[in-house]
Amino acid sequence: NAGVTQTPKFRILKIGQSMTLQCTQDMNHNYMYWYRQDPGMGLKLIYYSVGAGITDKGEVPNGYNVSRSTTEDFPLRLELAAPSQTSVYFCASRVVPEKLFFGSGTQLSVL
Amino acid sequence: EDKVVQSPLSLVVHEGDTVTLNCSYEVTNFRSLLWYKQEKKAPTFLFMLTSSGIEKKSGRLSSILDKKELFSILNITATQTGDSAVYLCAVDQTGANNLFFGTGTRLTVIP
C-alpha cells in the first residue's frame, strides 16, 4: 500500500497564479482532509470530505476549492494565489473513528 | 468553544533526560485523543487513547489519558536526539468530522 500520496512536494507560485495539489489514497478511506500548517502553528482544516461527491468547508476555506469525484482522489485547487497561502499543505485520510494517515506534504510559496 | 491546548510550547533537554508533554482539552462529545510526532514532514502516529487511566506504551514513549480532568500526558524517557520533533495532540469527537489539533510542543534534545 502506498497510503496517502501528495504531489507536488514543492511549488513556487507567483501572485495570481492557480494550481492544483493532488492527493490520492489507496486505503479505501471514506474521510479525506486538507490541512495547512503555518510555521510554528498547528494544523488548520481547509476542507474535508466524508465520501465521493460530498465536501464541506473547514476552518480556513477561503481561496481554496476541492472536489471528490472518487473515493481515492481529493484534489485541492488554489485560485488566484496570494502570499497568505504560503504554507505547508497536508492531505490526510481515515476511517472514522480511527487515526489519520497523512501524506508527505506540499511546501508552497507564493511570491 | 472547543479547544486543545498543549504545553509547554517548546522544550530543550539533554540526551538521557525524561520529559513530560501536556495536552488539555475542552471539547464536547469526546471520543479519543491522539498523539503524533512531526519531524521535518508529515505527522506520524504515536498513540490513540480512549479510556481513562490506561497507559499506552511504545518503547521509551508512553501516554495516559485523564477524562475527568480532561488532559493527557506524553512521557519520553532516556531522550535521544532522534526524539527532537514537534509533538501534536489531537482530539476526536463523536458526531464530528474533524480532529481538533493543538499547536504542538517543539522538543529539542541536545547531545
pLDDT of residue A93: 96
pLDDT of residue A1: 65
Best residue in A34, A99, A106 to probe B by mutation, most B CBs within 10 Å? A99
Q: Identify the structural domains of chain B with CATH numbers, from first to last.
A: 3-103 (2.60.40.10)
Mean pLDDT of A59-64: 94
Closest-CA residue to A72 (of A86, A91, A89):
A91
Is there a domain that residue A107 lies in? no
Is there a domain that residue A23 lies in? yes
Give me chain A's average pLDDT, please.
Answer: 94
Q: Check CB contact of B91 with chain A, cutoff 8 Å.
A: no
Is there a domain that residue A95 lies in? yes
Identify whether the C-beta of residue B99 lies closer than 8 Å to the C-beta of residue B89.
no
CB spacing of A42 vs B42 below 8 angstroms: no
Mean pLDDT of A56-77: 96
The answer to whether residue A69 scores a pLDDT higher than 80 is yes
CB spacing of A105 vs B41 below 8 angstroms: yes
Is there a domain that residue A108 lies in? no
Q: Would you call B52 helix, strand, or coil by DSSP?
A: coil
Q: Identify all chain A residues contacting B43, using CB atoms and an 8 Å cutoff.
A: 43, 90, 100, 102
**Type of residue numbered A53:** G
Residues of chain A above pLDDT 70, percent: 99
The answer to whether residue B110 scores a pLDDT higher than 70 is yes
Is there a domain that residue A24 lies in? yes
The answer to whether residue A62 scores a pLDDT higher than 70 is yes
The answer to whether residue A84 scores a pLDDT higher than 90 is yes
Over residues B13-68, the pLDDT tens digits come to: 999 999 999 999 998 889 999 999 999 888 999 999 998 888 999 999 999 999 89
What total of structural domains would you count in chain A? 1
The residue segments making up the domain with residue A74 are 4-100
Over residues B65-90, the pLDDT tens digits come to: 998 999 999 999 999 999 999 999 99
Closest-CA residue to A83 (of A18, A36, A10, A16):
A16
Q: Identify all chain A residues contacting B97, using CB atoms and an 8 Å cutoff.
A: 31, 48, 50, 56, 96
How many CB atoms are closer than 10 A to CB B26?
Answer: 13
How far B51 CA sits from the closest chain A CA (Å)?
14
CA–CA gap between residue B40 and residue B43 (Å, rounded)? 9
Is there a domain that residue A109 lies in? no
